[in-house]
Structure 1
Amino acid sequence: MSKIHLRTEDRIAFITIDAPPVNALNEEVLHQLSITLDDIINSEIDVVIISGAGDKAFVAGADIREFSTLNKETGEELCKRGQSIFTKIERLPQPVIAAIDGFALGGGFELALACDFRIASSRSTFGFPEVKLGILPGYGGTQRLARLIGIGKAKQIIFSGEFFAAEEAFKFGLIEEITDESPIEKAKDWAEKIKQRGPLAVEFAKKAINTGIDLPLEEGLEWEARFFGELCETADKNEGVTAFLEKRQPKFLKR
């Protein structure tokens, strides 16, 4: 039985992680997620929304039962496998929105961090409990969290293993929006806005941000100018500028 469900609606892809009771990221779930992402990369999808099935968890971490026999070699392999899949999310040409409802812990929190931005219900809970198990976040958590909210706050969250509510996550800058409604519907609202924009422009903007974030400013600016120049030779740029001058809505080319 599939643990990852993919549904498409009007050029929006909805990926649902369905592994009761808490949507844990075991080996099979990660494998199916990787295949699903591969199917999306070169598709006609404009925006991707990732959520968890049920009303308890987005994803409440990895499957701890798989950790009991790990040694140095297999532990490192496990991390690299999870890291590669989450990096695949980060590098998708399409924007990826995490729609979080419930627990986003450990690997689930790391999954959310790999998305481009995050929308959470007010009842959601976040945290990295790995240190309580004698390990550390290994699917990119130590790296992405510090880059997103700063080293000090990231260390406080990871070292303590404490959980925190959506309101705190919003205050820290971990999520972009809190809602008392369905986070999937809120994410869909944003997806509808994004898909009206130039798809190449959105793709290149994502590449510019992701490429430059870890570089010195001067190098990041070089990449920004390079991507801008490439867009200047596209039909989308010509259509966008012409539509603006003609005071009409642009008709961008689709993927």
Structure 2
Amino acid sequence: MTQSNARSDAEFVTLEVADGVGTIRLDRPKMNAISLQVQDELRRAATEATERDDVAAVVLYGGERVFAAGNDVKEMVDLDQGDMVRLGASVQAAVTAVARIPKPVIAAITGYALGGGCELALAADVRFAHEKAVLGQPELLLGIIPGAGGTQRLSRLVGPSKAKDLIFTGRFVAADEALEMGLVDRVVAGESSAAVYEQALAWAAQFVGAASFALRAAKECVDRGLEVDLDTGLEIERMQFAALFATADRRIGMQSFVEHGPGKAQFEGK
């Protein structure tokens, strides 16, 4: 296994790279509360994962005990409106940076993924959860609303009615219900919650050696297309489709298909 670690100056969030898969790892005892420092480190880790050519896909992971139990309420309790007007963009920027990593991103959810932790999971393309995981957006119980994309990404993922139910009530959702409503994509059983991370790594590993520009284009088409009307989305798709004909991987993939059949191309990432 080939492994390299990210910056040594990060205290709570690291990017670890092994065999082409990057793991953005939260490690802020006890519950991975997302403070302003964690937000900054998440943003920097996402930027690094975006820029590194040796990272084909990314796993978001908080460890075996908890994904992230929410934003740091103790840090926010004395803030006023002026403070949050100044800091609000930063609150969203970290999650947005993760959402905009132009590579497949999967969240491996253990324990609690609540509030800001749930919003971070929503920024991934796919979510695997341990059978004992719990998700939710309980901000209303604090007299506020989700502020890092929860009202927008959750409603796009599960539909407005289910999103409103979770946000209005602030209730927690067990893994099986989260799977049923589409909040997570797979529930992993077993005594050890580490199995979620192992399955997430396996999912991410399939993209090592894939056509990276095509993956980037596909992700952008889906994500941007959800933000616009159908005709505009189709135009985004048309432009991305045509642009891929300038890549070496398109030539390699089509030539390989003609000569050897599907699934045998050796892409170069160019």
Tell me the TM-score normalized by structure 1: 0.96
Q: Counterparts of 1:100-249 in structure 2 under 5 Å?
A: 100-181=109-190, 182-247=195-260, 249=264
Alpha-carbon distance between aligned partners in 2 of 1:225 and 1:7, rounded to the nearest angstrom: 35
Alpha-carbon distance between aligned partners in 2 of 1:173 and 1:194, rounded to the nearest angstrom: 23
- The answer (yes or no) to whether the contact 2:47–2:101 under 8 Å persists in 1 is no
Cα drift, residue 93 of structure 1: 1.2
Alpha-carbon distance between aligned partners in 1 of 2:49 and 2:86, rounded to the nearest angstrom: 25
Cα drift, residue 11 of structure 1: 1.1
- Aligned-partner residue type, residue 182 of structure 2: G
Aligned match of 1:46: 56
Alpha-carbon distance between aligned partners in 2 of 1:33 and 1:84, rounded to the nearest angstrom: 9
The answer to whether 1:70 aligns with 2:79 is yes
Q: Secondary structure at the match of 2:67?
A: strand
**Percent of pairs with identical residues:** 37
Structure 2: stretches of 5+ with no match in the other structure: 1-9
Cα drift, residue 29 of structure 1: 1.2
- The aligned length equals 254
Measured against aligned partners, the alpha-carbon deviations of 1:131-177 in whole angstroms (never above 9, x if no partner) come to: 11111111110111111111111111000011010111111111111
- Aligned-partner residue type, residue 269 of structure 2: K
Alpha-carbon distance between aligned partners in 1 of 2:224 and 2:258, rounded to the nearest angstrom: 32
Alpha-carbon distance between aligned partners in 2 of 1:164 and 1:38, rounded to the nearest angstrom: 31
Cα drift, residue 78 of structure 1: 3.1
Match of 2:70 among 61, 64, 71: 61
Measured against aligned partners, the alpha-carbon deviations of 1:33-72 in whole angstroms (never above 9, x if no partner) come to: 111122222211110101002x331000011101211111
Structure 1: stretches of 5+ with no match in the other structure: none
Measured against aligned partners, the alpha-carbon deviations of 1:8-27 in whole angstroms (never above 9, x if no partner) come to: 11111011100011000011
Cα drift, residue 4 of structure 1: 1.1
List, as ranges, runs of 4+ consecutive aligned residues in structure 1 with deviation greater than 3 Å.
none
Backbone CA RMSD of aligned residues:
1.4
Alpha-carbon distance between aligned partners in 2 of 1:157 and 1:178, rounded to the nearest angstrom: 19
Alpha-carbon distance between aligned partners in 2 of 1:34 and 1:159, rounded to the nearest angstrom: 29
Alpha-carbon distance between aligned partners in 2 of 1:78 and 1:60, rounded to the nearest angstrom: 20
Alpha-carbon distance between aligned partners in 2 of 1:69 and 1:163, rounded to the nearest angstrom: 26
Cα drift, residue 251 of structure 1: 1.2
Alpha-carbon distance between aligned partners in 2 of 1:123 and 1:78, rounded to the nearest angstrom: 34
- Aligned-partner residue type, residue 194 of structure 1: F
Deviates more, 1:245-254 or 1:226-235: 245-254
- The answer (yes or no) to whether the contact 2:210–2:269 under 8 Å persists in 1 is no
- Aligned-partner residue type, residue 265 of structure 2: P
Cα drift, residue 196 of structure 1: 3.9
